[in-house]
């Protein structure tokens, strides 16, 4: 039985429990648009004050290595980008960012160059998965944070049309592969804020888990994450601002990672 854990979600995430999904998306879009008008020098420091005492930000120190999977430009402009908050926290450390959308990547590159964080961030313009291949993404120009892998979530034709999705073929790689190429060593935290692909991405972290990655944060976009992470040797410790935060119990390397809901092909 899972014991209760602290709930550190902000007001907006608490509100999500009581508001229909379509309404919540509209509210979020409006909220992000309003915050986008606030200068960087105000919104990120203020947002940082709120976040940095909470998980997963509170686990980080100067010099740490962090991985962030997912960097939508609307979240970036609103002052809510985990990649930017992580970069502000680690100082001389490094943040490996994985983002498949070309426009999101361009926006992040411009932003970090403008604010002087470019030396702290290594950006991989691809998707994260449990192996190297090419997958189909459903991407929305109007709602970049809603991008999703085709086949991972059940989306009706009507919903796809409403969100303005278009299909794009994107190369994907495992986090182990990207961390090895970057040469950063074992990260202190891996944060995965995708829309349903979290466990498939974790399945591509076998070496990272074996090396002793202490914390993994997953967006709460799928089912059974707590039980699946227990099999990887991680305990659920706190409900953070995007989903679940886990801590490694021991240096356990799962013998047979089994990604769920892997699209055929």
Closest CA to 98 of 147, 63, 52: 147
Residue 78: count of CB within 10 angstroms of its CB: 22
pLDDT at residue 247, rounded to an integer: 97
Tens-place pLDDT, residues 122-142: 999 999 999 999 998 888 776
Q: What is the DSSP-derived secondary structure letter of residue 71?
A: -
DSSP state of 117: -
> How many angstroms separate the CA atoms of 134 and 137, rounded?
10
Instruction: Quote the pLDDT of residue 35.
Output: 65
Tally of CB atoms within 10 A around 23: 10
Residue 251 in this model has a pLDDT that exceeds 60: no
- The whole-angstrom separation of Cα 207 and Cα 38 is 41
Which residues, in sequence order, are CB contacts of 158 under 8 Å at separation 6+?
none
Residue 152 located in a structural domain: no
HSE-CB at 227 with a 13 A cutoff on CA atoms is 6
Query: How far apart, in whole angstroms, are the C-alpha atoms of residue 220 and residue 228?
Result: 13
| Percent of the chain's residues with pLDDT above 70 | 72
Note whether residue 6 is domain-resident: no
With 70 as the cut, is the pLDDT of residue 257 above it? no
Q: Is 50 exceeded by the pLDDT of residue 262?
A: no
Residue 51 lies in a domain: yes
Given a cut of 70, is residue 229 above it in pLDDT?
A: yes
The count of structural domains within the chain is 1
Of 122, 44, 31, 55, nearest in space to 84 by CA: 44
Residue 254 lies in a domain: no
Residue 256 inside a domain? The answer is no
The answer to whether the CB of 135 falls within 8 A of the CB of 204 is no
Does some domain include residue 143?
Answer: no
pLDDT one-digit tens code per residue, 168-190: 899 999 999 999 999 999 999 99
For the residues 191-219, what does the mean pLDDT come to?
A: 95
From CA 55, how far away is CA 119, in angstroms rounded?
24
51 close to 176: Cβ distance less than 8 angstroms = no
**pLDDT per residue as tens digits for the range 233-249:** 999 999 998 899 999 99
Q: Is the dihedral of CA 32, 236, 121, 98 positive or negative?
A: negative
Query: Which helix (DSSP H) or strand (DSSP E) does residue 231 occupy?
Result: helix 225-231
Report which listed range, 6-15, 151-160, 220-229, is most confident: 220-229
Residue 182, domain CATH: 3.40.50.150
**Domain presence at residue 240:** yes
Sequence-distant (6+) residues with CB within 8 A of 74 are 29, 32, 36, 143, 144, 145
Tokens of 258: 């089994």
Instruction: Residue 97: give the domain boundaries.
Output: 11-128+171-248
Q: How confident is the model at residue 261 (pLDDT cuts 50, 70, 90)?
A: very low
- On the CB side of 144, how many CA atoms lie within 13 Å of its CA? 22
Residue-wise pLDDT for 50-91, tens only, equals 888 899 999 999 999 999 999 999 999 999 999 999 999 999
Radius of gyration of the chain from its Cα atoms, rounded to whole angstroms: 17
* pTM for the predicted model, two decimal places: 0.82
Count of C-beta atoms within a 10 Å radius of residue 154:
8
- Structural domain contains residue 34: yes
């Amino acid at each position: 039985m899972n014991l209760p854990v602290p709930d550190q979600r902000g007001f907006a995430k608490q509100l999500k429990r009581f508001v229909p999904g379509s309404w919540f998306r509209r509210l979020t879009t409006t909220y992000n648009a309003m915050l986008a008008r606030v200068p960087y020098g105000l919104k990120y420091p203020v947002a940082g004050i709120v976040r940095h005492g909470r998980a997963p930000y509170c686990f980080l120190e100067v010099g740490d290595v962090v991985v962030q999977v997912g960097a939508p430009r609307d979240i970036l402009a609103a002052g809510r980008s985990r990649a930017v908050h992580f970069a502000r926290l680690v100082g001389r450390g490094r943040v490996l960012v994985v983002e498949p959308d070309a426009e999101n990547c361009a926006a992040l590159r411009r932003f970090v160059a403008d604010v002087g964080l470019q030396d702290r961030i290594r950006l991989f313009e691809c998707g994260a998965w449990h192996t190297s291949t090419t997958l189909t993404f459903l991407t929305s120009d109007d709602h970049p944070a809603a991008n999703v892998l085709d086949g991972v979530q059940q989306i009706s034709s009507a919903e796809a049309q409403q969100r303005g999705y278009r299909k794009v073929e994107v190369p994907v790689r495992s986090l182990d592969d990207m961390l090895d190429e970057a040469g950063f060593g074992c990260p202190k935290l891996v944060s995965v804020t995708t829309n349903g692909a979290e466990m498939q991405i974790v399945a591509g972290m076998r070496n990272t888990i074996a090396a002793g990655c202490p914390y993994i944060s997953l967006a709460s976009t799928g089912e059974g994450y707590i039980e699946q992470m227990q099999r990887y040797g991680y305990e659920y410790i706190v409900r953070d601002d995007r989903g679940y935060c886990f801590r490694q119990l021991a240096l356990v390397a799962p013998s047979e990672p089994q990604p769920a809901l892997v699209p055929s092909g």
